[in-house]
Amino acid sequence: MILSNYEPKRVFHHFEAISQIPRGSGNEKAVSDYIAAFAKNLGLKHIQDSYHNLIIFKAGTTGYENSPPVILQGHLDMVCEKNAHIVHDFLVDPIKLYVDGDYIRAKGTTLGADNGIAVAYCMALLEATDIAHPPLEVVLTSDEEAGMSGAKNLDFSLLKARKMVNLDSGRAGAFVAGSAAGTTAEYELPVKWEAPGAYTSTYALTVSGLHGGHSGGDIHLERGNAIRILAIMLNEISKKAEIRISKVGGGMKVNAIPREAWAHIAIDPTHKACVLEAFEAYKPVMKSFFRVADADLELELKPADPAKKVLTGPCGKNLIASLLLLPNGVQSMSRDIEKLTAASSNIGVLETFEETIKISCMPRGASNEHTLQVEDKISALADLAGAKYSFLQRSPAWAFNPDSGILKAFTSYYEKTHGDKPMVTAIHGGLECGIFSEELPGIDIVSFGPNMHDLHTPEERLSISSTDETWVFLCGALGEMK
């Protein structure tokens, strides 16, 4: 075991164990079964539903038997992203962990600390015999990262608690009291194909080397979006010479800022010099533009196999225009919380099909209205471009509540144990707290967690020392909840 010598030992034991079980969104059955068996072996009442959600009940410890119950909540699934050169099948391969100083990382893939560390905390608390706590209702949901279908289909009548600790935040010393609404937008552009004709030379245009990141938590950093950069480069080249697009692609997950994108373009061989000149002229412009946010941006244009068919000229122009005009990045900033994004959208995945080119985006907003305003931009553009659009997997906002009772209790305990005030904030990422607040009227929620960085990318890492500090705080805070 790689993590066996690190504290808290049982937390890291469980984290390493579940890292051996593939658990991408939609593939949670094995990890859900594993934890259900764990609960059964402990003699704990547990409920596992058809969505692979788990609710595990543990009685309060001595002196806490009649205390109000508390929900501990996290999600089972993880975002599956990897570097292009890494051979890894997320359906069958375990996450390969390694320690880098104070951080746990994965070899070329996402780590899954989002939200595996919450699962590990909960498992350690469920098995513990020496930690004082009120009755616990541990809720571990499925499919959080791909639409929150687990939480949306949870039987909330099984829950009696009206206080909840969500463990899906990633900044030590900060308590979250609000999160964004979100949706998945699918923009499908009908396409027409034709023979290449005079466009007999084909080139592959690739965008790579970008940092990527969480489409909510990192969107304000203005990192490069590979799909948008691809569109910019296609547009610049097309200003100098007629091109035909034969296929495009990019991104892996709608909730991750895409790090790579590509297009195959066919040109008239007599225009080769103009195309190469346009590419080479604008390449340094792009690299300079992203020199701070994405210094490793790579742009490449090289010969490819001849295209068998290409988009018609108007279809290609429509595609480039759509990619340039779809809302991407920060759309507005919060007036309530300094430096917090209020509305955004991420162009996350670009796919070529026989009859359509599909562009998947994720609008987010501090309120449902913020999100709807971004959706309106997408639908208006779709109407102009003749594209079809749909909005799927909507998740509600968790309204910022600085007057939360559980927030004040945890803040007070933090001040007592740390000697300073924690940050109280909201986040632009989506948390399942919005669904819980809608389904359980009057529920009082706080969210926190250890330091995690670069979520939804292969650079994801989890601080060992912060994990220990957060564990000590969580155990102590639960002991205060009589």
- What's the farthest any 2 CA atoms get from each other in the chain? 85
Q: Which of 16, 77, 81, 294 is catalytic?
A: 77
Over residues 388-407, the pLDDT tens digits come to 999 998 999 999 988 999 99
Averages of pLDDT over each 10 residues, the chain, 482 residues: 96 98 98 98 98 98 97 98 94 98 98 98 98 98 95 98 96 94 96 97 98 94 97 97 97 95 97 97 97 97 97 98 98 91 97 97 94 97 98 92 94 96 94 96 97 96 98 97 91
- Rounded to 10 degrees, the C-alpha dihedral 107/113/116/117 comes to 130
Q: Which of 16, 114, 137, 144 is catalytic?
A: 144
The answer to whether 208 and 286 have CB atoms below 8 angstroms apart is: no
- The candidate with the shortest Cα–Cα distance to 423, out of 402, 444, 405, is 402
- The candidate with the shortest Cα–Cα distance to 116, out of 5, 8, 18, is 18
Domain boundaries, the chain: 9-179+398-479, 182-394
Backbone φ, ψ for residue 274 (5° rounding): -65, -40
Over residues 411-428, the pLDDT tens digits come to 999 999 999 999 999 999
Over residues 134-187, the pLDDT tens digits come to 999 999 999 999 899 999 999 999 999 999 999 999 889 999 999 999 999 999
Active site residue 143: no
d(CA 242, CA 245): 10
Active site residue 336: no
- The candidate with the shortest Cα–Cα distance to 315, out of 248, 362, 251, is 248
Which residues are registered as beta bridge partners of 75?
141
d(CA 117, CA 101): 18
User: Angle at Cα 246 formed by Cα 242 and Cα 251, nearest 5°?
Assistant: 115
Indicate the class that CATH gives domain 9-179+398-479: alpha beta
- The candidate with the shortest Cα–Cα distance to 3, out of 98, 94, 71, 67, is 98
Helix (H) or strand (E) holding 381: helix 368-385
Over residues 89-145, the pLDDT tens digits come to 999 999 999 999 999 999 999 999 999 999 999 999 999 999 999 999 999 999 999
Same fold, 9-179+398-479 and 182-394: no
Amino acid letter, residue 302:
K
d(CA 391, CA 342): 19
Say if residue 150 is exposed, middle or buried (CB neighbours under 10 Å; 0-12, 13-18, 19+): buried
Residue 244 confidence (pLDDT): 98
Give this prediction's pTM. 0.88
Indicate the class that CATH gives domain 182-394: alpha beta
Helix axes 464-479, 405-418, angle to 10 degrees: 120
Residue 378 confidence (pLDDT): 98
DSSP three-state, residue 214: strand
- The candidate with the shortest Cα–Cα distance to 316, out of 196, 200, 185, is 196
- The candidate with the shortest Cα–Cα distance to 75, out of 117, 133, 29, is 117
Backbone φ, ψ for residue 180 (5° rounding): -85, 155
Residues 6+ apart with CB under 8 A from 219: 213, 257, 329, 330, 341, 344, 346, 364, 428
